[in-house]
Structure 1
Amino acid sequence: MSRPISSVSSVDHYSPPLRALHWLTVIAIIVVYGVTYLEGLFERGSVGRAYIWWTHISVGLAILGLVALRFAFRIAGPVPPPSAALSRPVHLASAVAHVLLYVLLIVTPLVGIYLAFLRGNEVTFFGLFAIPAPVAVDREAARSVQELHEVLANALVILALLHAFAALVHHFVLKDDVLRRMLPR
């Protein structure tokens, strides 16, 4: 059954590709962050430890790809306007949080790639391709960059958790459409 033209022009949910990319990004963040806690289970130089970092780097690169796809789908549109349930200050806070999330989703993996290069490691994407280190090994700089990468990753996770908490408050307490716009239909 076709919808009247007036309702087609008024988008009230994110498109299926944008919703899928959002939830794939959530899963990727959980994996890329969570897998680092498994490092301690393996000895330095072991195959298991190498696999942990191979996974971490590959999923980090996947996050960059997911963000690029999200931008492409957002540009191609349409995207829904801000929820009518949001006051102007809440909408502004939401917009700032989303911009910060996107910045962290881009900068954190890029800093991680630079860290791998400073350690003299190539960067591989699930074994499909490898990018050799274009910079000289610098272990001292790598320590500083590692600290920055960890701070950015922690900031990303904290902001993502706040984002999720806010969505849950909107859904279960305020009972508005904010979360439903991103849920599968």
Structure 2
Amino acid sequence: MSRKTEGAVGTATRVLAGDDGTNYDRVAIAFHWTTVLLVLVQFLLAQLWDLFGKPTHHLMVVAHMSFGILLAVVIVGRLVWRLMPGHQVPVIVSGWVGLASKAVHYLLYALLAAQAVLGFVLRWAGGEDMSFFGLLIPSPFAPWSRAAHHQVGELHENVGWAIIIIAAAHGAAALYHHYVLKDRVLLRMLPGHGGG
């Protein structure tokens, strides 16, 4: 496929997705807010499941695994969509603010990917299957030592907190752009304002 054809295909998919070239399209917006929702659900499940007894606790852990796998799929889909020709949106901030914005996005993607891997490793290192809405995914390796398993668990928890803190700062920055700087940074990612 020639570059001209690739560009035309990219433009066509972008227009069909509701993007006018300056806003995020409907698909990108859906990926973003689905990611936000799943991250919040994952964090709340992990923080609350110790408050419940066995059947509820177990169901919350299984839901956490299932939504974690779903989140990993959403992240991969989001990255593929973003890297497809025609889906790049021009930056409306420049200088160090633009660099900081890109750095935060890349850091969040890296942390989310690491968290997904850590989730699998944590279960499997403990000699347990992963579960995706009841479908069991057995461990490809033998259980690790208790100390190594504990370290993976601590790392998984710390990365989860890092994601929440950085995402909260990201959200606060978007609100600052909207209410103080009065630019379109936040509006471009809101349903109905961005991609239509």
> Fold conserved (TM > 0.5)?
yes
Aligned to 2:64: 56
Q: How does 1:83-98 map to 2 (within 5 A)?
A: 83=92, 86-98=93-105
Query: 1:161: which partner in 2?
Result: 168
- Asked if 1:16 is matched to 2:26, the reply is yes
CA distance in 2, matches of 1:135, 1:108: 19
Aligned length: 174
Instruction: Please list every run of 5 or more consecutive structure 1 residues that lacks an aligned counterpart in the other structure.
Output: none
Distance 1:171 1:19 in 2: 17
Which of 116, 126, 143 does residue 137 from structure 1 map onto? 143
- Of 57, 60, 75, the match for 1:67: 75
What is the rounded CA distance, in whole Å, between the counterparts of 2:118 and 2:168 in structure 1?
21
Given the two structures, how large is their TM-score scaled by the length of structure 2? 0.84
- Across the aligned residues of Structure 1 and Structure 2, the Cα RMSD in angstroms comes to 1.6
Q: CA deviation at 1:41?
A: 2.1
Q: Secondary structure at the match of 1:181?
A: helix
Q: Secondary structure at the match of 2:189?
A: coil
Paired letter, 2:30 = A
Partner of residue 81, structure 1: 90
**Structure 1 CA distance for aligned equivalents of residues 65 and 176 of structure 2:** 33
Give the letter for the 2:116 counterpart.
P
- How many angstroms does 1:125 deviate by? 1.1
* Farther-moved stretch of structure 1 (106-115 vs 133-142): 133-142
Give the percent of matched residue pairs that are identical in Structure 1 and Structure 2.
37
Given the two structures, how large is their TM-score scaled by the length of structure 1? 0.89
CA–CA distance in structure 2, aligned partners of residues 37 and 92 of structure 1: 33
| Amino acid of the structure 2 residue aligned with 1:79 | Q
Separation in structure 2 between the aligned mates of residue 10 and residue 28 of structure 1, nearest angstrom: 28
Between the aligned partners of 1:119 and 1:140, the Cα distance in structure 2 is 10
Q: Secondary structure at the match of 2:89?
A: coil
Residue type of the alignment partner of 2:142: A
